[in-house]
């Protein structure tokens, strides 16, 4: 996927302490910022945190679609802001979740299967990951859930 303006995320932005950047949807860019191309490189506030807009995604870009969110999520709207994962440390005061705590389980992963791979293989890999987590952290409550679905 190529952005309409700017660029996509790079690996250094997905590290703790990395730059605070964001990509935004075409729709958000039009509605909130009047389609101003000068927004690129400027800061916007996302969840109370200033982030630099590095890219505007094309109008047709729609990922993840509402149907791709797990059924237990209370929303199914269109995604309009993308951030690097960049897990933060326990002492971070940004308001983001404490990812060092094993009690935080607010991460959803959406993946694309390799050619020739099927949903049962992907589910088996997720189940193995969950088992490793339980084995590596037996003192912690295990609430890992996986919900595999094939989407067109």
What pLDDT, in 10s, does the model give residues 65-101?
Answer: 666 666 666 665 678 898 887 655 444 444 444 445 5
Quick one: which of 139, 151, 9 has its CA closest to 86? 9
**Mean pLDDT across 20-32:** 96
Residue 34: pLDDT over 80: yes
Q: What is the pLDDT at residue 98?
A: 46
Give the tokens for residue 32. 């909130």
- pLDDT value for 26: 96
The token pair at 47 is 């969840």
- Distance between CA atoms of 84 and 29, rounded to whole angstroms? 19
At 35, the pLDDT band (50, 70, 90 cuts) reads very high
The neighbour count for residue 32, using CB atoms within 10 Å, is 14
Give 134's contacts (C-beta < 8 A, 6+ positions apart): 142, 144
Q: What is the pLDDT of residue 72?
A: 64
Length of the chain: 152
Q: What share of the chain is helix, strand, coil (3-state, %, to 5)?
A: 25, 15, 65
Q: Do residues 53 and 44 lie in contact, with contact meaning Cβ atoms separated by under 8 Å?
A: yes
Q: Which of 54, 49, 63 is nearest to 12 (CA)?
A: 54
Mean pLDDT of 129-149: 69
Q: Is 78 helix (H, G, I), strand (E, B) or coil?
A: coil
Mean pLDDT for all residues in the chain: 78
d(CA 14, CA 146): 23
- The token pair at 54 is 């590095």
């Amino acid at each position: 996927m190529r952005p309409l303006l700017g660029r996509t995320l790079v690996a250094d932005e997905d590290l703790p302490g990395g730059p605070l950047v964001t990509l935004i949807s075409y729709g958000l860019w039009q509605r909130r910022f009047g389609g101003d191309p000068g927004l690129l490189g400027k800061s916007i506030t996302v969840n109370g945190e200033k982030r630099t807009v590095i890219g505007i995604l094309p109008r047709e870009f729609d990922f993840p679609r509402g149907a791709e969110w797990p059924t237990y999520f209370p929303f199914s709207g269109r995604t309009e802001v993308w951030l690097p994962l960049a897990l933060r440390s326990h002492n971070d005061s940004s308001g983001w979740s404490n990812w060092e705590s094993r009690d935080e389980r607010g991460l959803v992963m959406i993946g694309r299967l390799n050619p020739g791979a099927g949903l049962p293989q992907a589910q088996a890999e997720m189940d193995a990951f969950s088992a490793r987590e339980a084995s590596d952290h037996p003192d912690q409550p295990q609430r890992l859930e996986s919900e595999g679905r094939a989407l067109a």
